[in-house]
Amino acid sequence: MIDSCIIGRRDEQVASHEGGTPRADTATVVLDMLCSAMHALTLGHAADQIICRQLGNALNADVAVTIALHPDRPDQVVCTWPDSPLATTIGDSLLRRGLQAGEEDFRVEYVADLGHVASMWIRPADPPGANGPGRLLAFVRTQPFTPGCRALLDRARDALVALWPHAARLVRAHDAQDWVRTAVATNHMTDRELQVLGLLAEGLLATSIASRLQLSPRTVHKHLGNIYRKLGVHDRLVAVSIARLQGLVDTYPSSPSSPGLQASG
């Protein structure tokens, strides 16, 4: 978790040039973006749309696009600004082009049929080179990006790299929830299996579950095997954690030392 984020005020303001950004304090733009993003993440919401909109506005961009980067599945556009057919078309075009990061993970270039494009990559930084989810932010303008725009993007990227570990945890949590929903929807659990899973979440062993449900321990073990298979796990604690994540159960062991936590059923 990020306890604090210090943004150095290296420039008084983003300079205004012909065709450039309006005069705006760089630190204020970045701090407002960061505070809004952190508020959204604290509430369990993604911050992509907030970042896309606020930076797009500050840069006087015609279109802003955020693309999700995943190590194990195709990249995808997660949001565009403004919400318009043109922005959607440009987002799809950028996705097809497969923009590549430069040495500094930041690039400003002219792209035929699109215009001037500023791109920056936000990826896991600890440990260096670690695989994990990331983001590509691209901003498109008909006018070239001014030095003031580049300075704003540079400061914004510093802040977003610091914010990303917190945002990435939310991405992984949402991915886990989606996986669990798919697993449960695909492998329907019977009412009896849900009963067994609920008692498992209370910390009961197989023999106690059998006694509670008036079943034989062998039958309970059979139900447990089906539960593990349907959830794609091999451990009772993982099964209970996944079940709670999906909302299948809401009970907890009465004590951390419950025997159900110490032994497998």
* Domains along the chain with CATH numbers: 26-179 (3.30.450.40), 188-261 (1.10.10.10)
* Long-range own/partner contacts, residues 17-21 (CB < 8 A, 24 or more apart): 17/146, 17/147, 17/148, 19/143, 19/144, 19/146, 20/60, 20/143, 20/146, 20/148, 20/149, 21/58, 21/59, 21/60, 21/146, 21/148, 21/149, 21/152
pLDDT confidence of residue 90: 92
C-alpha distance from residue 104 to each of 76, 115, 119, 122, 132 (Å)? 22, 22, 11, 11, 18
Count of all residues that appear for the chain in the document:
265
Q: What is the mean pLDDT of residues 11-32?
A: 61
Q: What is the mean pLDDT of residues 21-49?
A: 83
Share the mean pLDDT of the chain: 77
Q: In what order do the strands lie in the sheet with 63-69?
A: 76-81, 63-69, 134-141, 115-122, 106-111
- Contact assessment for residue 41 and residue 51, using Cβ atoms and an 8 Å cutoff: no
Q: What is the pLDDT of residues 213-233, one digit of tens each?
A: 999 999 999 999 988 888 778
pLDDT confidence of residue 247: 66
